[in-house]
Chain A
Amino acid sequence: KAGVTQTPRYLIKTRGQQVTLSCSPISGHRSVSWYQQTPGQGLQFLFEYFSETQRNKGNFPGRFSGRQFSNSRSEMNVSTLELGDSALYLCASSLGQENNEQFFGPGTRLTVL
Protein backbone atom coordinates (compact mmCIF):
# COMPACT_ATOMS: atom_id res chain seq x y z
CA LYS A 1 0.00 0.00 0.00
CA ALA A 2 1.07 3.60 -0.52
CA GLY A 3 3.24 5.19 2.13
CA VAL A 4 2.93 8.52 3.87
CA THR A 5 3.14 11.43 1.47
CA GLN A 6 4.02 15.03 2.25
CA THR A 7 3.74 18.12 0.11
CA PRO A 8 5.56 20.20 -0.78
CA ARG A 9 8.96 18.53 -0.45
CA TYR A 10 10.87 21.81 -0.42
CA LEU A 11 9.79 25.31 0.50
CA ILE A 12 11.56 28.66 0.76
CA LYS A 13 9.87 31.48 2.66
CA THR A 14 10.90 34.79 4.18
CA ARG A 15 10.56 35.93 7.76
CA GLY A 16 7.07 36.98 8.72
CA GLN A 17 5.33 34.85 6.12
CA GLN A 18 3.18 31.85 6.90
CA VAL A 19 3.29 28.36 5.50
CA THR A 20 0.99 25.34 5.27
CA LEU A 21 2.34 21.82 4.95
CA SER A 22 0.27 18.79 4.01
CA CYS A 23 0.45 15.14 5.00
CA SER A 24 -1.51 12.17 3.68
CA PRO A 25 -1.28 9.14 5.98
CA ILE A 26 -1.28 5.48 5.08
CA SER A 27 -4.78 4.30 4.29
CA GLY A 28 -6.52 3.15 7.45
CA HIS A 29 -4.24 5.09 9.80
CA ARG A 30 -6.16 7.54 11.98
CA SER A 31 -3.25 9.08 13.84
CA VAL A 32 -0.97 11.69 12.32
CA SER A 33 1.93 13.20 14.26
CA TRP A 34 4.12 16.11 13.23
CA TYR A 35 7.79 16.56 14.09
CA GLN A 36 10.44 19.20 13.56
CA GLN A 37 13.95 17.91 12.90
CA THR A 38 17.02 20.12 13.13
CA PRO A 39 20.71 19.20 13.46
CA GLY A 40 20.92 20.88 16.85
CA GLN A 41 17.73 19.66 18.52
CA GLY A 42 17.06 16.39 16.78
CA LEU A 43 13.50 15.19 16.28
CA GLN A 44 10.99 17.16 18.33
CA PHE A 45 7.32 16.36 18.69
CA LEU A 46 4.93 19.10 17.57
CA PHE A 47 1.47 17.56 17.90
CA GLU A 48 -0.63 14.53 17.17
CA TYR A 49 -4.08 14.31 15.64
CA PHE A 50 -6.40 11.37 15.96
CA SER A 51 -9.84 11.25 14.37
CA GLU A 52 -9.79 15.00 13.65
CA THR A 53 -8.91 15.93 17.26
CA GLN A 54 -5.61 17.14 18.59
CA ARG A 55 -4.72 14.49 21.11
CA ASN A 56 -1.31 15.76 22.23
CA LYS A 57 0.88 18.80 21.82
CA GLY A 58 4.59 19.38 22.28
CA ASN A 59 6.35 22.47 23.60
CA PHE A 60 6.09 24.74 20.59
CA PRO A 61 4.66 28.28 20.44
CA GLY A 62 1.14 28.95 19.26
CA ARG A 63 2.48 29.98 15.84
CA PHE A 64 2.53 26.26 15.12
CA SER A 65 -0.92 24.81 14.55
CA GLY A 66 -2.51 21.96 12.72
CA ARG A 67 -5.68 20.20 11.83
CA GLN A 68 -6.91 16.87 10.57
CA PHE A 69 -9.66 16.22 8.11
CA SER A 70 -12.25 13.48 8.06
CA ASN A 71 -10.15 11.46 5.59
CA SER A 72 -7.25 11.60 8.12
CA ARG A 73 -5.18 13.93 5.96
CA SER A 74 -3.50 16.57 8.06
CA GLU A 75 -2.13 20.04 7.58
CA MET A 76 0.34 21.97 9.66
CA ASN A 77 0.54 25.75 9.64
CA VAL A 78 3.31 28.01 10.84
CA SER A 79 2.56 31.70 11.03
CA THR A 80 4.95 34.65 11.33
CA LEU A 81 7.93 32.57 10.27
CA GLU A 82 11.26 33.04 12.01
CA LEU A 83 14.74 32.08 10.83
CA GLY A 84 14.83 29.39 13.49
CA ASP A 85 11.87 27.64 11.91
CA SER A 86 14.13 26.40 9.13
CA ALA A 87 14.00 22.64 9.52
CA LEU A 88 12.82 19.35 8.13
CA TYR A 89 9.17 18.81 9.05
CA LEU A 90 8.20 15.18 9.22
CA CYS A 91 4.79 13.69 9.60
CA ALA A 92 4.18 10.15 10.72
CA SER A 93 1.04 8.05 10.67
CA SER A 94 0.01 5.08 12.76
CA LEU A 95 -3.04 3.14 13.85
CA GLY A 96 -3.04 5.27 16.98
CA GLN A 97 -2.22 2.92 19.81
CA GLU A 98 0.83 3.64 21.93
CA ASN A 99 2.65 0.49 20.84
CA ASN A 100 2.05 1.03 17.14
CA GLU A 101 5.06 1.86 15.03
CA GLN A 102 4.97 5.17 13.24
CA PHE A 103 5.49 5.37 9.49
CA PHE A 104 7.24 8.54 8.50
CA GLY A 105 6.81 10.56 5.35
CA PRO A 106 9.78 11.94 3.39
CA GLY A 107 9.44 15.35 5.03
CA THR A 108 9.15 18.95 3.92
CA ARG A 109 12.39 20.92 3.96
CA LEU A 110 11.50 24.48 4.98
CA THR A 111 14.04 27.26 4.58
CA VAL A 112 13.27 30.66 6.05
CA LEU A 113 15.32 33.55 4.70
Chain B
Amino acid sequence: GQNIDQPTEMTATEGAIVQINCTYQTSGFNGLFWYQQHAGEAPTFLSYNVLDGLEEKGRFSSFLSRSKGYSYLLLKELQMKDSASYLCAVTSPSGGSYIPTFGRGTSLIVHP
Protein backbone atom coordinates (compact mmCIF):
# COMPACT_ATOMS: atom_id res chain seq x y z
CA GLY B 1 0.00 0.00 0.00
CA GLN B 2 0.88 3.67 -0.14
CA ASN B 3 1.31 5.69 3.03
CA ILE B 4 2.47 9.26 3.41
CA ASP B 5 2.69 10.97 6.79
CA GLN B 6 2.90 14.67 7.52
CA PRO B 7 2.15 16.63 10.69
CA THR B 8 -1.40 17.94 10.65
CA GLU B 9 -0.63 21.44 11.81
CA MET B 10 2.34 23.65 12.62
CA THR B 11 2.65 27.21 13.84
CA ALA B 12 5.57 29.59 13.44
CA THR B 13 6.46 33.23 13.83
CA GLU B 14 6.91 35.71 11.01
CA GLY B 15 10.57 35.92 10.02
CA ALA B 16 11.43 32.51 11.47
CA ILE B 17 12.37 29.22 9.78
CA VAL B 18 10.09 26.19 9.75
CA GLN B 19 10.70 22.61 8.60
CA ILE B 20 7.76 20.46 7.46
CA ASN B 21 8.55 16.74 7.44
CA CYS B 22 7.13 14.04 5.23
CA THR B 23 7.73 10.31 5.56
CA TYR B 24 6.53 7.78 3.04
CA GLN B 25 6.18 4.06 2.49
CA THR B 26 5.23 3.34 -1.08
CA SER B 27 5.48 0.44 -3.49
CA GLY B 28 7.99 2.01 -5.81
CA PHE B 29 9.26 5.55 -6.02
CA ASN B 30 9.73 7.94 -8.94
CA GLY B 31 9.92 11.29 -7.24
CA LEU B 32 8.53 13.55 -4.55
CA PHE B 33 6.62 16.79 -5.01
CA TRP B 34 5.72 19.59 -2.62
CA TYR B 35 2.67 21.74 -3.29
CA GLN B 36 1.29 24.77 -1.49
CA GLN B 37 -2.47 25.25 -1.13
CA HIS B 38 -4.02 28.40 0.27
CA ALA B 39 -7.48 28.07 1.74
CA GLY B 40 -10.09 27.95 -0.98
CA GLU B 41 -7.53 27.80 -3.75
CA ALA B 42 -5.93 25.14 -5.93
CA PRO B 43 -2.56 23.59 -5.05
CA THR B 44 0.47 25.18 -6.69
CA PHE B 45 3.82 23.52 -7.36
CA LEU B 46 6.75 24.27 -5.06
CA SER B 47 9.42 21.66 -5.70
CA TYR B 48 10.33 18.27 -7.09
CA ASN B 49 13.02 15.90 -5.78
CA VAL B 50 14.10 12.72 -7.51
CA LEU B 51 17.66 12.37 -6.19
CA ASP B 52 18.88 12.52 -2.59
CA GLY B 53 19.89 15.91 -1.35
CA LEU B 54 18.74 19.46 -0.99
CA GLU B 55 17.09 21.53 -3.69
CA GLU B 56 17.02 25.24 -2.98
CA LYS B 57 14.65 27.70 -4.59
CA GLY B 58 14.60 31.13 -3.01
CA ARG B 59 13.13 31.04 0.48
CA PHE B 60 11.99 27.43 -0.02
CA SER B 61 14.21 24.33 0.04
CA SER B 62 13.28 20.66 -0.19
CA PHE B 63 15.33 17.69 0.95
CA LEU B 64 15.01 14.03 0.05
CA SER B 65 16.48 10.83 1.47
CA ARG B 66 15.22 7.87 -0.53
CA SER B 67 16.85 5.29 1.74
CA LYS B 68 14.98 6.70 4.72
CA GLY B 69 11.72 7.43 2.91
CA TYR B 70 11.94 10.97 4.18
CA SER B 71 11.64 14.48 2.87
CA TYR B 72 11.30 17.92 4.34
CA LEU B 73 10.31 21.34 3.11
CA LEU B 74 12.21 24.22 4.67
CA LEU B 75 10.70 27.69 4.63
CA LYS B 76 12.95 30.59 5.58
CA GLU B 77 12.13 34.20 6.46
CA LEU B 78 8.51 33.29 6.98
CA GLN B 79 5.89 35.73 5.80
CA MET B 80 2.23 35.93 6.73
CA LYS B 81 1.32 34.89 3.19
CA ASP B 82 3.07 31.55 3.79
CA SER B 83 0.11 30.53 5.94
CA ALA B 84 -1.27 27.66 3.88
CA SER B 85 -1.47 23.90 3.63
CA TYR B 86 1.66 22.13 2.35
CA LEU B 87 1.13 18.86 0.50
CA CYS B 88 3.74 16.17 0.07
CA ALA B 89 3.15 13.85 -2.90
CA VAL B 90 5.05 10.75 -4.05
CA THR B 91 4.81 9.37 -7.57
CA SER B 92 5.15 5.61 -7.97
CA PRO B 93 5.50 3.61 -11.18
CA SER B 94 2.34 2.01 -12.53
CA GLY B 95 2.38 0.19 -15.84
CA GLY B 96 4.18 2.47 -18.22
CA SER B 97 3.34 5.55 -16.22
CA TYR B 98 3.06 6.66 -12.59
CA ILE B 99 0.51 7.25 -9.87
CA PRO B 100 0.72 10.18 -7.42
CA THR B 101 -0.13 9.68 -3.76
CA PHE B 102 -0.66 12.78 -1.65
CA GLY B 103 -0.28 13.21 2.07
CA ARG B 104 -3.13 14.87 3.93
CA GLY B 105 -1.22 18.13 4.10
CA THR B 106 0.31 20.22 6.87
CA SER B 107 -1.55 23.38 7.78
CA LEU B 108 1.02 26.07 8.56
CA ILE B 109 -0.07 29.08 10.57
CA VAL B 110 2.30 32.04 10.58
CA HIS B 111 1.63 34.61 13.28
CA PRO B 112 3.17 38.06 13.80
Contact = CB atoms under 8 A, between A and B. Distances in A.
Max chain B CB contacts within 10 Å: which of A43, A56, A58? A43
Contact of A101 (B33, B87, B99, B101): B33
B4 to A, nearest CB: 9
A105 interface: yes
Task: Tell me whether chain A's interface is mostly helix, strand or loop, or mixed.
Answer: strand
Contacts of B98: 56, 98
Contacts, number: 57
Tier of interface size on chain A: 20 to 34
A33 interface: yes
Task: Tell me whether chain B's interface is mostly helix, strand or loop, or mixed.
Answer: strand
A106 B97 contact: no
Nearest to A50: B97
A98 B97 contact: yes
B97 A41 contact: no
Interface in A50-107: 50, 55-56, 58, 90, 98-99, 101-107
Interface of B: 30-31, 33, 41-45, 48, 50, 87, 89, 91, 93-105
Interface of A: 4, 33, 35, 41-45, 48, 50, 55-56, 58, 90, 98-99, 101-107
